[in-house]
Chains A and B, each alone.
Chain A
Amino acid sequence: MNFEDDLRAALRREQPPADFAARVLAKAAQTERVVAFPVWRRPATWAMAAGLAVAALVPPAVLEYRHREEQRALEAKKEFLFALQVTRTKLQQTRARVHRATMRHTL
């Protein structure tokens, strides 16, 4: 066995069968039909689904955010009024004590 002869035999030029080109074209046409995307894989479908999801999720999130802000604002207002109430009470108390002290010194 001569290796070079084997290699030469393996690589020798051969003519394709007569119907080779027709078979390749037929196979290619068949493959094109298989590659066509189904509806659920089309970008437009995904874009539409994403749009619907955003439209469904965003308004409740905005409402929830607004509601929480409103609660914080109400809490802040209550605390503010409470702080003013403490201030008023302490100022009045101080005024009363100063008044009593002044009266004692006057008498």
Chain B
Amino acid sequence: MKTLFLLLGLTLTLQAQQPFDFHTLDKLDALTDHKTKITLDPDMLRLAARFIGVDNDKDAASLLSLVGNLKGVYVRTYEFDKDGQYSLTDIEPLRAYLKQQQWSRIVESQEGKNIDEVYIQPLPGDRFGGVAIVSAEPRELTIVYISGVMSMGDLEKLEGNMGIPDIDLKNAKKPAAPPAKDKKED
């Protein structure tokens, strides 16, 4: 009996640690050509960390301490030509996952047809295991899912500048491939 409970507990723990499967949102891909998909798994984050600070990045120390604790960074942005090209049910798998994994919705805002939701996964000791943002506008849908142990301070830093260069999000879609080595920017 004790073994059964142990196995059940182990199964539930493993299930709880399952990351969200972003393939469940793939049907959005077919709805628009204007999309940006960023998937950074732990290996890619480690790679990224190797180059943070190399180009005299601002707040390199903050960025490094943040990236060191992250397990995954996923961004999906979709732009649509007309209103109503997507439905909120298209992102239901993500919402259901966050609910099932007991993430807390700390912000829910609706302004006209614009819906913003911010979720965190609470952990003991003023820390949390990730942040997820759903921003749904009639012609734009943005999903951010960052997994990894963070503090409230990290979240505040994320909202601040934190050495993140300004990028024109409307015109700059997924970052282009880096320039060739001999043409590397300073």
Task: List residues of A whose CB falls within 8 A of some B CB.
Answer: 67, 69-95, 97-98, 100-101
Nearest-Cβ distance from residue B80 to partner chain A, whole angstroms? 17
Beta-carbon contact of A90 and B142 below 8 Å: yes
Please determine whether B77 and A86 come into contact, CB atoms closer than 8 angstroms.
yes
Question: What is the interface of chain B mostly: helix, strand, loop, or mixed?
Answer: mixed
B51 in contact with A87 (CB, 8 Å): no
Q: Are B174 and A82 in contact (CB under 8 A)?
A: yes
- Assuming A88-B158, A98-B107, is B166 touching A80 (CB within 8 A)? no
Chain A contacts for B175, CB-based, 8 A = 75, 78-79, 81-82
Most buried by B among A67, A76, A83, A93: A76
A-B contact pairs, 19 of them (CB 8 A): A71-B177, A73-B47, A76-B45, A76-B51, A78-B176, A80-B48, A81-B165, A83-B40, A83-B73, A84-B162, A86-B142, A88-B161, A90-B133, A91-B118, A91-B133, A91-B155, A93-B135, A98-B116, A100-B111
- In the assembled complex, the CB of B73 is this many whole angstroms from the nearest CB of chain A, namely 5
A37 to B51, CA, bound (A): 56
C-alpha gap A98/B162 in the complex (Å): 22
Chain B's nearest CB lies how many Å from the CB of A98?
5
Besides A83-B40, A90-B135, A97-B114, 14 more A-B contacts (Cβ < 8 Å) are A71-B178, A75-B177, A76-B40, A79-B175, A80-B45, A83-B144, A85-B167, A85-B169, A86-B77, A87-B144, A90-B133, A90-B142, A91-B118, A97-B116
Which residue of chain B is the closest to A72 with respect to CB atoms?
A: B47
- Interface residues of B, count at CB 8 A: 45
**Does the CB pair A81–B164 fall under 8 Å?**
yes
Assembled-state Cα–Cα distance A85/B63 (Å): 12
Question: Do residues B40 and A86 form an inter-chain contact, with CB atoms below 8 A?
Answer: no
B166 partner residues in chain A, CB cutoff 8 A? 85
CA distance A92 to B165 in the complex (A): 15
Find the B residue at minimum CB distance from A104: B111
- Given A76-B40, A88-B159, is A82 in contact with B75 using a C-beta cutoff of 8 Å? yes
